[in-house]
Structures are given as structure tokens and as C-alpha cells.
Structure 1
Amino acid sequence: MNQNLAPVSLWDYLREEILATDFDSTQELKWERVTNFMAIPFWMEKIILFGFAVCLDSFLYTFTILPLRFSVALWRLVSGNARWALGGEKVYLHSSHKCDLLKSLLFVTSCYILTRVTDASKMYHGVRGQDVVKLSVIYNVLEIADRLCCSFGQDLLDSLFSRTTLARRRDGRQPYLRPLGFFALSLAYVLAHTLVLFYQLVTLNVAINSYDNALLTLLLSNQFVEIKGSVFKKFEKENLFQLTCADIVERFQLTLMLSAIGLRNLIELSGSSTDGGSSSPLPTSFTVFPSLSLLETVLTPVCIVLLSECVVDWLKHAFITKFNHIRPAVYGRFMDVLCRDLVVAGPDQRERSRRYTFVDQSPIVSRRLGFAALPLACLLVRLVIQMVGMVGDTSHFDECAVPGGRRLSSSSSLVGSAARSLGAVDLDSPTLQALDSVVRGSAWILTLVVAWIFLVAMKLLLGTNLVGYASRRYATMDQREVEENLNARDRRPIGVDKEEQGYDAKMVKLLDKEEDDAVKTTFDGRPQPSGTKTKEARGSGGGGGGDKKGGGSLMDVGRYTMVRSRIW
């Protein structure tokens, strides 16, 4: 350093501070960080919207395509056995037909058991009996249990719905023990995972219906932990892809649960208002203006939760990409991976068409995202059964009933008027009750058929549009590989020029002196020779297993693939 610098007077120092006109050259390059930071919400919502549509398509499969495939498989089983009983040639089921039968049986059995062993009211009051602090702890524990169940359930269901388990042996024998064992394990998994999701939904409902700001406390604790646990950590594009998949599934599950909670509270609130009372199951803290309608009162806490989730996702990904110098275009590569899974049949079959896939068996894109469709479908069925029971429950109308008489429903009134026109006098006759049951049953069957047809049409439109969009994007996927190279492990830091990089290198060289290091010893206490590196130091270079060049391909990364030191 130059030791001959003349001392600066106070007047010279003040004049330089006031009249300085030069800029720091490094400030000119920071604009890219700001633009990348502001562009993250757009890229995030784009891929989350696409992933949301993929999850919805996979979720609707259970209610639309699976019943049709089950009908085909059941018809083939019955017709083949009938033909064999009449002396014809025996027709064996394909492995795909066995998969459809087992999946439908697993779904129906799980829904039946859940309706018998679960009581939503007891679960609700059991969770509500806890204090606010325990409520957030319960929700965090359930969130971890959800991810663990999903990771194990993917492998378990894939093992059940596979050729190795369901295909016939070479000698023509049909295996029974292995499918039966995997089916029992899968049934236990689906029940356990659905119960975890059910308790998670009940916890959210308790927080929404609480009068002591439990929802605000739950949101602040969970969102703060989510930001703190991810922002200040080293990230590569593989870790960011896993985190994006987790956020997509979380957004879909949260939307489904909050929609169910809002609909249930709307039914409960409409019933209480119809009864003439002013009581409401929702806290008055959500009523900003007294003139808010019933729908706005119900949807306000739902929108608060969803909006907070969106803002936290934006901030989390914006700071992760800023600290790790990752450009937002990497989210386009993430979408390319999901589109490729929709178009081709497998990770090692690039040119194979989607129409040659073996069977659904939890599509590749669902496994990539870590999305468990079957437990969510069972949860929805259980909630729909509860809501139907709430709609059909007219106990709050008993106070308005005529003393000594029985209140007639609208269908009973129609049947009664028709019976009077036919000359019937006794409204309590078995014939009138049978007609009433037929009218009620026909109305419910017609409603279910119309709803199912609507879901099938929605699934077909959504599926065709998704595959069409994925095919168009897959055709131009190679043009965007350069964007992935920009986010390789040896990428250049954003907003740093060559002069600043040279200055940082000189500072590192100046501060990195061997005489300042502590004496390293071996495991037996002897001094380690200088110039050698430990195994940990050798393996940590370049970030991620010593691979300084681009690392592995995103095509080989899934939601529950161990990359670096954490799974999201």
C-alpha cells in the first residue's frame, strides 16, 4: 500500500463529498437483479397455473375415466367367465384391466371405511379444544405427515399397479399373494393419508371459524417458517424445481380444501339464516361492513389464506433466485419438463408417443409433482357425503312445523298434490311414502348423472388442451436449452462485472493465508500434512457432488429425489 498519501483536511474532504460526480461502475449492472426480482411473480403464476391444471386433470381421472375403464374391465370379466362356463374358450384379463378393477375397489373400499370410522364433528371439536399455539403445531405436523405419506404411497401404488404384480406367470398361473399383500398395504396407506388430509382440513376450518385470531396466528407462523427455512440457503436449479413442484401441489390442495370449507360454511350459514336467527358459525372479525352479503362473509377468510399463500410464494422464489443468481427463465425449463411428461411415455423413451402408455397408474407428471390424487379423491367423497347430509337435514325447520303434524318436503308436497288428484286421502299411506322415496331417489340420481357428465366433459376439454399445449411446447423444447445453461452451477453472478470479480478474487487471495488457518489434525490427533484436503473439502467443491459443469438434467429430478442435502 502507498504510505505517502498526504493527510486530507476537513475542508478538502467536505468539498470532495459535495462536488463528487463519478459513479461506482458496479451500480450500473444491478438493474438485472431488480428486473428479475419483479418478473418472478409472472413466471411463478404461469407455471403454477399450468401445474394446477395438470393436478386437476389427474384428480378428475378418478371420477370420470376410471369408472368407464372399470365398466369395461368388469364387462370383460363377466362375459369371459360366462363364455367359459358355457364351454367356450376362457378369456383372460389384461394387466391393465386388473389395474382398473383393483384401483376402483381400493377407492370404493377406502370411501366406505372412511364414512364408517370418521366423525367430522368429533374431529372438529377435538382439534378446537386445543389452544392457538398447539393449533399451528398440529398443522405443521400434519403437513410433514402429508409429504411422508405421499412419498411412500407413490412407490406402494406403483408396485401394486405394475406388470410384475398383476401379470400372469410364464406357466400360466395367476399370482394372488403378492397382489393381495400390496392391496392391503395400499388400503392402509390410502386410509392413513386421507385421515391426515382430513385433519389438515379440520384444522384449517377451526382456524377460520375461531374468534381469537387463530387464522392470523396460523398464517403468520406457517408463512414465517416457510420463508425462513428456504430463503437463506444455497439453491441450485434442481432444488428450485423440487420446491416449485411442492408449491404447485400445495396450492392445489389448499384451494380444494378451502373451497370445501367455504361451501360447508355457506350451507351451515344459510341454514341458520333461514331459521330466522342471527347466529353465524363464522367470526364477526371478518365482517368489515355490516352490509356484506352471505357469500362475501364466507369467502373472505378463504381469499385471505389463498392471497397470503400467493404472496409468500412470490417473495420466497424472488429472494431465492436473487441470492443464488438464478434467472427467471429457468421456470420455463421446469414447464418443459412437465410438458415432456405429458407427451412421452417415460423418461428414457423420448420419441415414444403418449398413446402407447400401459395404463394410467398415477401418470408420470403426477409422480414428478408428488401429487397424490387417490387420497384427495377419497377426502372429497367424504366431504360431499357430509354436505349432502347437511343439505338433507331439515331439523332446524322443526320449530316451524305444524303441531301434531309432520313437515312435508317439496317433493312430498308434489306427490301429495298428485295423490289428491288421483283420489288419495291418507297422506301417510305406504303408497305415498313409496312415491316420495322414488321422487327423492330419482332427483338425486339425475343430479349425480348430470354432475358426472359435466365432469367428463370438463376432463376431456382439459386433457385435450393440456396435451395440445404440451405437444407444441415439446416440439420447441430444444430451443430453450440455452436458458438452462445460463443457470448452470458455474454460472456468472448477476449484476457483477469483470472488475468486481477481479477485486473479489484479490480480496479472497489476500485474506486466504495458510498461517491464519488452524492446525488440522487427523482422527488420531496427529497434525495433517499441509497441501492435503479432507474428503469433505474435496466433495464440496463446485456445489453438488463436485460437478462444476451444469450438473444433472432436470429430466431426472422428481419431487422426492434426493438432490444435494434436502427434499422439498
Structure 2
Amino acid sequence: MSDVSITGPAPFSLWDYLREELLATDFDSHQEMKWERVSNFLNIPFAVEKTIGFGIILCFDSFLYTFTILPIRAALALYRLCANWITFKNSLPPSQKADILRALLLITSLAILAPLTDASKIYHTIRLQETVKLYVIFNAVEIADRLCTSIGQDILDCLFSRSTLAPLSRKVPVSHRTFLPLVYFALAVLYTAHTLVLIYQLISLNVAINSYDHSLLTLLVSNQFVEIKGSVFKKFEKDNLFQITCADIVERFQLSLMMTFIAVRNLIELSGTEFDFSAAVPDSFRWIPGHGLAWTILSPVAMVLLSELCVDWLKHAFITKFNHIRPSVYERYMDVLCLDLASGSAMGRHGARKHTYVDQSPLVARRLGFASLPLACLTFLIAAQAFSSTVSGFDSKEWFHFGQRHIKYGILITLAWVCLVLVKIIMGVNLISVATHRRADMERREAEDVVNDFGRDPIGESKDEKNYNRDLKTLLLQKKDDASRTSDMGERTKDGVKKRPGLNELTRFTMVKYIW
């Protein structure tokens, strides 16, 4: 970088130019300062995966709550409700009312969705569509998923709030507020249409994987590059980057869960056939050479997850590079999640023993935008349809043997549920422990994160480089170069100061802040 001002006189003649080009021995030493940018770029994948991995564990913990802790809490709440009605005691506390409503909402949703979600019919309906329509369907359900998550979170918060649950008592006189829980419950039932969106997303992905052409690879490449293009070349601050990280956590968990469903379903279907599946499986199953049924099923799953992994790394690496954000900001993101987790725990509520088994993740799930109820409904529906397809394969002569097998299945399901309860408890204890230990060093990391605050210095720029960029900006932003113009419709000025226009002065293409 030359020390000569960019506004000074031209110092070179033709001979000076040739001598500078051919005989110069000095070079720009400021290039050595760019190593910090390269180092940050290379460290971003590790920092991102640490935060996303922790967030996925939080999502899994919240997901398991519906299958493990909620049935126990709902059973205890029903027992206490029956005892109160018999002994004419006080009504239930709000937490147990919420448990009963949550279980009732889950059962009602499954009863409504079961006749509407025939996976085989939906699969063949989507598969008959053209390749271009498959892309449209997949992108449409992805957008619908995000919109449903946003509105559904507000509806469930309204339903399970204390003010909504308070009128559900015999001692409260009947008024217009008595019917408020019914209204919110009806809205929550309507929100279960989010499960339909997830089912279509799951089956669309399954159709893409089972296609006999390159639809899977094309779908992945097109969607992933659109995500990179829509995120990288924009101005972001660390709060915007936190929102992107939360979205990536939920997306990674949902994608992993759906790919697990697809792999298990294809494994069950292909394992029962007597034909040579290696000659009949789609081309998309054989991108990586390998043998065996498990490899045939898992290779497309690995390809999908690895592509998502690489896109997340590139997206975060370039966002932080262009916006001069250091990798330490991801430690602060983990601190925020741990603070929510510790605040929602029993220790965070001053050790109240009566809330020991309350779900530890509502604050974290709200922060991440994670919709656990629709995913739980999706899991129940997929599992029920897989089990019903197994039952339909037995004729009348085999029902006796099937009854014995049914008992074995019941025992296995019970043992699996007990194992999930233990996993949930152990996972919750360890998560609370990690969150509590991170709170000790939270203030130190917050002080170190000042380097990522608004107005931060660019990474890898010397003092001379900053002065040069400032002089260049001054040269480019001179008022004498601006064309004189008159006020357009929707732009009012008073004493030379622009003011916000009224609605009657706006047109569609008036540039206020954004233009559609």
C-alpha cells in the first residue's frame, strides 16, 4: 500500500513506470496481515459444528419429552384430577392442566391426521409429478414449514399460558374467559396441519432419493446453492447470524430425523424382497461404490447429510469473512442457549422440587424455533403405518402366531420406552450440568466478545489501509457529483430534512426502506 495520497498529483512518467514495473524490489507488506482472515475462515467449521451439535442435542431432548416425560406427567395429572373430583378438593395447578391439554392435543391431532395421511397414496401422487414440479413441491413445503412454525409457536404459548388455564376450575364463575381455552385449543388443533407439511416434505425427499435419474443430486445442488446465494452476499451483524444459526440447528435436526425415517422404511421394504435389489435400486443409491443392503440404503442418506454439512460450513465461513465477525461469537451463542436451559431448570427456579420433571427445554425450543409437537405427530404416524403394513401381511391362519408375536412386540416397545425415559433423564441431567458450568465463565466470554460488537474494526486491515479506504470513500461521496432532483411522490421535505410520508402519499415503487 503506497503512502501517497490518492488525491495527490501523478508521480510517474513513462520511464518511472517502466523502472517501477521491471526493477522494483519492494512489495506490499500488508498482505501478511491477512492471515487472521484465513485463520478465522478455517476455524469457523469447528466453531459452527460445536454450536450446532449442542443445539441438536437440545432439540433431541425436547423431542424425547413428548414420548417419555409427557405420558407420565399426563397420567399423574389425570389421577389427581379424578381424585379431586371424588373428594371435592381444589383444582389442578396450571402445570398439570397444561400436561392434560398437551396430551389431549396430541391424541386429537393423531385421530384427525391418521385418515388423511396415507403415505403410499401421497408417495405415488408426488412420484407421478414431473421433475420440475418435484422441486416446486419441495421448496413450497420448506417455506410452509417455517411459516407454520412461527404462528404455531404463538398459538401454543397462548394455550399453555397461566391466564388461559386459570378459568379451567370449578371455583371460577362462567364468563367469556371460560371459553378462551376452547378457542385456543381449536386453533392448536388447526395448527396440526403443520404435520401434513412435514409429511409432504418427508415423502418428497423420499421420492427424490428413490428416483431413477439424478433428481436427488440436482435437488440438493439447486437448493443448497440458493441458500448460499441468499445468505452470503448480505450485510449481517452477530444478532442476525444468531438467527441463522438457530435456523440451521432446527433444519439439521429435522433433516437428520427425516433421513432416518427414510432409511429405516427403505431398509424394511428392501430386506423382505427376494429379488436382486442391487440391480433394481435407483442410480441415486449408487453414487459411491459399495455392496450390501445397509450400504445401499445409507449411501444416499450420507450424501444428503454431508452436503448439508458442507453448505453450512461455507455459508457461515463466508458470512463471517465478509462481515468481519470472529469465531468466538459462536461461544456466546452457546452461552445464550445454556442460560435459557439453566433458567428453565429446577435449579434455575430456586430448586423447587415439584417442578423436577417439568420439560427443561421450552425456553430453548422457543429460542431455536423448534416445533416438537408436529414432529412427534409425524413420528407416531410413520411408526403406526409401518406397523399396520406388517399386520396386513398375515392371513387368518397366521393370526395365532401373530398374537404371540404381538405380545413380543408389546414387550419390546415397553422396554424401548423405558430405555428412552432413561436416556431422556440422563441427557437432561448432563445438559443442566453443562449449562451450569458454562455460567461461571459467561462474563469472561461476554467481555471478550466486544471484538464482534457493532462498529468493530475490520479484520486484517492495517492503519494505512484504513486511511486509504477512508480517503477513497471521501473521494467517491462528493456532493458535487450528485444530480439535482425533485421530490418524488411519497417524499416530503421540510427545511431540507426528509420526513416519513403518509400512507396516502405512497406508491408501490416509492423507495421508503424496502421496495417490492
The answer to whether the superposition gives a TM-score over 0.5 is yes
Comparing 260-269 with 480-489, greater Cα deviation is found at 480-489
SS at match of 1:292: coil
Comparing 517-526 with 38-47, greater Cα deviation is found at 517-526
Q: Distance in 1 between matches of 2:492 and 2:120?
A: 67
SS at match of 1:105: helix
Comparing 18-27 with 205-214, greater Cα deviation is found at 18-27
Kindly tell me: are residues 69 and 4 of structure 1, through their superposed partners in 2, closer, same or farther at Cα, counting changes over 3 Å? Answer: closer
Q: Distance in 2 between matches of 1:217 and 1:160?
A: 42
Q: Distance in 2 between matches of 1:526 and 1:314?
A: 43
Q: Following TM superposition, by how much is the alpha carbon of 1:99 offset from its aligned partner in structure 2, in angstroms?
A: 0.6
Comparing 446-455 with 517-526, greater Cα deviation is found at 517-526
Q: Following TM superposition, by how much is the alpha carbon of 1:77 offset from its aligned partner in structure 2, in angstroms?
A: 1.1
| Counterpart in the other structure of 2:127 | 128
One-letter amino acid of the counterpart of residue 435, structure 2: A
Query: 2:141, 2:201 within 8 Å by CA — same for their partners in 1?
Result: yes
| Counterpart in the other structure of 2:91 | 92
Say whether residues 1:197 and 2:198 are aligned partners.
yes
Q: Distance in 2 between matches of 1:245 and 1:509?
A: 39
Say whether residues 1:496 and 2:498 are aligned partners.
no
| 1:497-527 deviation line (CA, Å, top 9, x unaligned) | 1111111111222222211112243357999
1:324-335 alignment runs, 5 A limit: 324-335=323-334
One-letter amino acid of the counterpart of residue 296, structure 2: T
1:335-354 alignment runs, 5 A limit: 335-345=334-344, 352-353=349-350
Q: Distance in 1 between matches of 2:306 and 2:201?
A: 19
1:463-502 alignment runs, 5 A limit: 463-502=428-467
Kindly tell me: are residues 394 and 535 of structure 1, through their superposed partners in 2, closer, same or farther at Cα, counting changes over 3 Å? Answer: same
| Counterpart in the other structure of 1:184 | 186
1:152-167 alignment runs, 5 A limit: 152-167=151-166
CA RMSD of aligned residues (A): 2.9
SS at match of 1:244: helix
- Give TM-score scaled by structure 2 length: 0.88
| Counterpart in the other structure of 1:239 | 240
Q: Distance in 2 between matches of 1:166 and 1:527?
A: 50
Q: Distance in 1 between matches of 2:164 and 2:66?
A: 21
Q: Following TM superposition, by how much is the alpha carbon of 1:390 offset from its aligned partner in structure 2, in angstroms?
A: 3.4
| 1:358-407 deviation line (CA, Å, top 9, x unaligned) | 75497010000000000000000111112223344537xx9xxxxxxx76
Kindly tell me: are residues 171 and 269 of structure 1, through their superposed partners in 2, closer, same or farther at Cα, counting changes over 3 Å? Answer: closer
Q: Following TM superposition, by how much is the alpha carbon of 1:231 offset from its aligned partner in structure 2, in angstroms?
A: 0.6
Q: Following TM superposition, by how much is the alpha carbon of 1:5 offset from its aligned partner in structure 2, in angstroms?
A: 4.8
| 1:164-196 deviation line (CA, Å, top 9, x unaligned) | 111147963366411111111101101x10000
Q: Distance in 1 between matches of 2:375 and 2:109?
A: 11
Query: 1:262, 1:299 within 8 Å by CA — same for their partners in 2?
Result: yes
Q: Distance in 2 between matches of 1:223 and 1:449?
A: 40
Query: 2:263, 2:298 within 8 Å by CA — same for their partners in 1?
Result: yes
2:471 to 498, 506, 515: 506
Computing the radius of gyration over CA atoms, which structure comes out larger, 1 or 2?
A: 1
Q: Following TM superposition, by how much is the alpha carbon of 1:129 offset from its aligned partner in structure 2, in angstroms?
A: 1.4
1:57 to 38, 61, 69: 61
Q: Distance in 2 between matches of 1:329 and 1:477?
A: 12
2:29 to 6, 9, 25: 25
Query: 1:99, 1:161 within 8 Å by CA — same for their partners in 2?
Result: yes
Q: Distance in 2 between matches of 1:477 and 1:147?
A: 31
Q: Distance in 1 between matches of 2:457 and 2:280?
A: 56
1:394-433 alignment runs, 5 A limit: 394=393, 408=398, 433=400
1:39-438 alignment runs, 5 A limit: 39-84=43-88, 90-168=89-167, 172-173=172-173, 176-190=178-192, 192-272=193-273, 275-276=274-275, 278=277, 282-287=281-286, 292-345=291-344, 352-353=349-350, 355=352, 360=359, 363-394=362-393, 408=398, 433=400, 436=401, 438=403
Kindly tell me: are residues 42 and 203 of structure 1, through their superposed partners in 2, closer, same or farther at Cα, counting changes over 3 Å? Answer: same
Kindly tell me: are residues 113 and 281 of structure 1, through their superposed partners in 2, closer, same or farther at Cα, counting changes over 3 Å? Answer: farther
Q: Distance in 1 between matches of 2:53 and 2:491?
A: 59
Comparing 170-179 with 155-164, greater Cα deviation is found at 170-179
Q: Distance in 1 between matches of 2:286 and 2:12?
A: 70
Query: 2:68, 2:420 within 8 Å by CA — same for their partners in 1?
Result: yes
One-letter amino acid of the counterpart of residue 297, structure 1: T
SS at match of 1:502: helix
Q: Distance in 2 between matches of 1:494 and 1:505?
A: 16
Say whether residues 1:453 and 2:407 are aligned partners.
no
One-letter amino acid of the counterpart of residue 183, structure 1: F
Q: Distance in 1 between matches of 2:418 and 2:181?
A: 33
Q: Following TM superposition, by how much is the alpha carbon of 1:23 offset from its aligned partner in structure 2, in angstroms?
A: 2.4
Q: Distance in 2 between matches of 1:299 and 1:379?
A: 21
Comparing 508-517 with 486-495, greater Cα deviation is found at 508-517
Q: Following TM superposition, by how much is the alpha carbon of 1:337 offset from its aligned partner in structure 2, in angstroms?
A: 0.3
| Counterpart in the other structure of 1:560 | none
- Count of residue pairs brought into register by the alignment: 491
Comparing 458-467 with 506-515, greater Cα deviation is found at 506-515
Q: Distance in 1 between matches of 2:493 and 2:290?
A: 77
Q: Following TM superposition, by how much is the alpha carbon of 1:352 offset from its aligned partner in structure 2, in angstroms?
A: 4.7
Identity %: 53
Kindly tell me: are residues 289 and 394 of structure 1, through their superposed partners in 2, closer, same or farther at Cα, counting changes over 3 Å? Answer: farther
Q: Distance in 2 between matches of 1:128 and 1:229?
A: 29
Kindly tell me: are residues 356 and 156 of structure 1, through their superposed partners in 2, closer, same or farther at Cα, counting changes over 3 Å? Answer: farther
One-letter amino acid of the counterpart of residue 139, structure 2: N
Gaps of 5+ in 2: 1-6, 501-512
Query: 1:344, 1:353 within 8 Å by CA — same for their partners in 2?
Result: no
Q: Which structure shows the bigger proportion of residues in helix conformation? A: 2
1:8 to 4, 14, 37: 14
Kindly tell me: are residues 6 and 142 of structure 1, through their superposed partners in 2, closer, same or farther at Cα, counting changes over 3 Å? Answer: closer
Query: 2:492, 2:499 within 8 Å by CA — same for their partners in 1?
Result: no
Kindly tell me: are residues 94 and 527 of structure 1, through their superposed partners in 2, closer, same or farther at Cα, counting changes over 3 Å? Answer: closer
- Give TM-score scaled by structure 1 length: 0.80
Q: Distance in 2 between matches of 1:35 and 1:357?
A: 49
Query: 1:209, 1:281 within 8 Å by CA — same for their partners in 2?
Result: no
Q: Following TM superposition, by how much is the alpha carbon of 1:484 offset from its aligned partner in structure 2, in angstroms?
A: 2.7
SS at match of 1:301: helix
Q: Following TM superposition, by how much is the alpha carbon of 1:286 offset from its aligned partner in structure 2, in angstroms?
A: 2.5
Gaps of 5+ in 1: 85-89, 399-405, 413-432, 537-563
